[in-house]
Chains A and B, each alone.
Chain A
Amino acid sequence: MSVAAQTWPDARGRFGPYGGRYVPETLMAPLEELERAYEAARADASFAAHLNAELKDFAGRPTPLQLASRLTEHLGGARIYLKREDLLHTGAHKINNCLGQGLLAVRMGKKRIIAETGAGQHGVASATVAARLGLECVVYMGTEDMERQRLNVSRMRMLNAEVVGVDAGSRTLKDAINEAMRDWVTNVRTTHYLLGSVLGAHPYPRMVRDFHACIGREARAQILAAEKRLPDWLVACVGGGSNAIGLFYEFLGDASVKMIGVEAGGRGTGLGEHAARLAFQAGFSGARPGVLQGTYSCVLQTPDGQIAPTHSVSAGLDYPAVGPEHAWLAEQGRAEYTAASDEAAIDAARTLARTEGIIPALESAHALAEVIRRAPKMKHGEIVIANLSGRGDKDMEILEKYL
């Protein structure tokens, strides 16, 4: 493990100035309990063995690192590898964290899990793990997201999860998190909140990162086996940022490896038209450090501190704040953050489908859009790993409008 990776977060859950724990008092003791339980589980070899067995036999790890040979040829620049998290059970990386937290919930004696979901991938993974472990599961989802990700709503219900529509605010991921936190604050003694990204109060950003760090661990070993050297670039989409940090983390100590997080550029650079919190160098406006839903990070907001509306074609990226560790990586210049528009993401999805035979999730398509933009300008010997964090079946209703 690299030096940089070992340093953060500090004991108070801070990544530099970002992170921390900003919650109503009722949740403080439960967060402390969760932190202790997680530390104990980390130190327990039987927990790791159980989790690794589930990741292998149930979820399908390790996932392949595939050379995208026709996409590489099509773009005519760098060699492009895809980390195929889309091949995991349930169709996205989210299952890594859900298995980890699900086993932790069992260990803590919690019989009920709640989750929020945007694109529905975390909701499906939560419902799946709940069924596998025999836990009750309630998933909160904005009604706008329920409409645009209908297939995933049906999958969750098939798995016996209760899906609760949230009609407040923008009716998207942010509002689903508010409602999940209201449930948690009410049922905190019996319920584990299975938060789905590197967001929220400490220890969530660290714990969720750790559960996804297998992505980068595998990718690092796989690229060394395939190319006998480290990659030049890592590219991943960033909503909350769980798949990105999962890929980046193991490489943080490798100074030669450059990292790019791709946010949702939506339909414009004005506040309300995008969900780009860190790509301000690309002209996206409205993000400043602030506190939302338990953590201090970069937040899209009005000058008065009200949280701003966001837009993205991709429900999983449509969120006004970003994981605190990403805010810190951006501030240090360790990772670069940019944004891809709705249109570029849809074009990228089509390009990948037609060159590689893979329909990506619209979230992952944002990462591919950046690869497509940059790869032609890169040298032939350069190596890019893009995280293909999810598959696109859930997005077909949106994508079929662009066939």
Chain B
Amino acid sequence: MKTVITTRIARRFEELRRAGELGLVAYITAGDPTLEASERIVLALAEAGADVIELGVPFSDPLADGPVIQRASERALHSGTTLRGVLDLVGRLRTKTEVPFVLFSYYNPVLQMGLEKFAAAAAEVGADGALITDITPEEAGDYRAAMHARELDTVFLAAPTSTEARLKLIAEASTGFLYVISRTGVTGAQNALAEELPALVRRVRGATSLPIAVGFGISHPGHVSLLGGLADAAVVGSALVAEIEKAQSAEAAATAIAAKARMLKEAARRGISRRESSR
């Protein structure tokens, strides 16, 4: 049975749909370089117009990530960040913002905490859902049950290699939104979007009525504009994390990342309007 959950995520996508606006999903690795810095950065991102914030849980072996997020993970682990610490960060942020939060993690830290304990804690601190990079619907039965029991969204990935049968499975397992990986590869900025992307998004549309967010390689306002009319949201990660890496202080990182987010959000708004005008 398809579980229908109405979290902040669903509500935000509904608002975006009504406004005819492409959403901006912003990823940062929590604890990079410290949890205190992340708190500032996330508030700045929310202020700058990020519609959903993905908080990466650092992991020692981030095999789906490119060098930028690998280094962010190392910095976060170096400052002692744990999954529990990331959950507490969400709790502190939730008193200050209503932006939807998706916990973005590899499976092992979640598994070691315990699926039910994780879901209970995530719900308690005010997170809205999770995306586990290295779990697919086939292995996700217990995880989905634990999350849905707490009315948390489970976001799954669709990839260019996903067959129609797999897209159907992914659509059935996903709630909140569906995350489409723009190209085969790891996370990280790219110059051009994959040529196959429009066809991929159309295939995913055929399998789900959920909002579709496209990520991996989205870094320029130009990319975001192109996604208008194609997807419901653009996910930007490495390009934001790179700003944190360059910055000299948490304050400078928050300022730089907010400026980048504002520029991307602006492009997201323009991208949609261009679609509307071309109709």
Check if A and B associate: yes
> Which of A16-48 touch B at CB < 8 Å?
20-30, 32
Q: Shortest beta-carbon distance, A21 to chain B, in Å?
A: 6
Among B82-137, those with CB < 8 Å from A are 82-84, 106-113, 133-136
Interface string of B61-88 (1 = CB under 8 A from A): 1111010001000000100001110000
- Count of CB-CB pairs between chains A and B under 8 Å: 114
* CB-contact partner of A292 in B84, B108, B159, under 8 A: B108
**Distance A32 CA – B138 CA, assembled complex (angstroms):** 12
Is A288 an interface position by the 8 A CB rule?
yes
Counting contact residues on chain B (CB < 8 A from A), the size range is 35 or more
* Contact, CB under 8 Å: B64 / A306: no
Given A21-B138, A22-B139, A291-B134, residue A306 in contact with residue B109 (CB < 8 A): yes
Q: Are B158 and A186 in contact (CB under 8 A)?
A: no
Interface centre among B108, B111, B135, B157 (most CB of A within 10 A): B108
Choose from B107, B156, B186 the contact partner of A186 (Cβ within 8 Å): B186
In the docked arrangement, what's the CA distance between A186 and B61, Å?
A: 17
Decide yes or no: A28 and B61 within 8 Å by CB, A299-B108, A305-B108, A305-B110 being known contacts.
Answer: no
Q: A301-B108, A303-B112 are in contact. Are A293 and B63 (CB under 8 A)?
A: yes
Asked if B135 and A22 sit within 8 Å, CB to CB, the answer is: yes
B85 to chain A, nearest CB (A): 9
Contacts of A168 in B (CB 8 A): 70
B163 and chain A: residue at smallest CB distance: A29
A227 sits at the interface (CB 8 A): no
**B160 beta carbon closer than 8 Å to chain A:** yes
Pairwise interchain contact A304-B82, C-beta atoms closer than 8 A: yes
Of A20, A29, A178, A185, the contact of B139 (CB 8 Å cutoff): A20
* Residue from B112, B134, B166 in contact with A24 in the complex, judged by beta carbons closer than 8 Å: B134
A374 sits at the interface (CB 8 A): no
Closest Cβ of chain A: how far from B208's Cβ, in Å? 14
Q: When A185-B184, A188-B184, A304-B84 are in contact, do A25 and B156 touch as well, CB less than 8 Å?
A: yes
Across the interface, name the chain B residue whose C-beta is closest to A299. B108
- Which residue in A22, A29, A288 is a CB contact (below 8 Å) of B161? A29
Q: Is the interface of A mostly helix, strand, loop or mixed?
A: mixed
Q: Which residues of B contact A188 (CB under 8 A)?
A: 161, 184
Contact present for A174 and B61 (CB under 8 Å): yes
User: Given the complex, which residues of A lie within 8 Å of B170, measured CB to CB?
Assistant: 25
Residue of B60, B134, B139 with most chain A CB atoms under a 10 A cut-off: B60
Of residues 268 to 298 in A, which have CB atoms within 8 Å of B's CB atoms?
288, 290-294
B61 touches A292 (CB 8 A): yes
A70 at the interface (CB under 8 A from B): no
Interface residue B162 (Cβ < 8 Å from any Cβ of A)? yes
Is A307 in contact with chain B by the CB < 8 A criterion?
A: yes
Q: Within the assembled complex, what's the spacing in Å between the Cα atoms of A304 and B139? A: 21
A294: shortest Cβ distance to chain B, in Å?
8
Question: Closest residue of chain B to A188, judged by CB?
Answer: B184
Are A22 and B134 in contact, CB atoms less than 8 angstroms apart? yes
Q: Are A307 and B161 in contact (CB under 8 A)?
A: no
In the complex the two chains form, is B60's CB within 8 Å of A22's CB? no
Q: Provided the pairs A12-B138, A188-B161 are in contact, do residues A291 and B107 lie with their beta carbons within 8 angstroms? A: yes
Q: Does A134 interact with chain B (Cβ within 8 Å)?
A: no
Taking a contact as CB atoms closer than 8 A, the residue among B60, B112, B162 that contacts A288 in the complex is B112
* A23 contacts B161, C-beta separation under 8 Å: no
Other than A188-B184, A189-B161, give 14 A-B pairs with Cβ distance below 8 A: A22-B107, A22-B139, A26-B185, A28-B138, A177-B63, A182-B63, A182-B64, A185-B185, A186-B185, A186-B186, A290-B108, A291-B106, A304-B84, A306-B60
Query: Can you list the 7 inter-chain pairs with the closest CB atoms, starting with the nearest?
Result: A305-B112, A305-B109, A26-B159, A186-B185, A25-B157, A29-B161, A178-B63
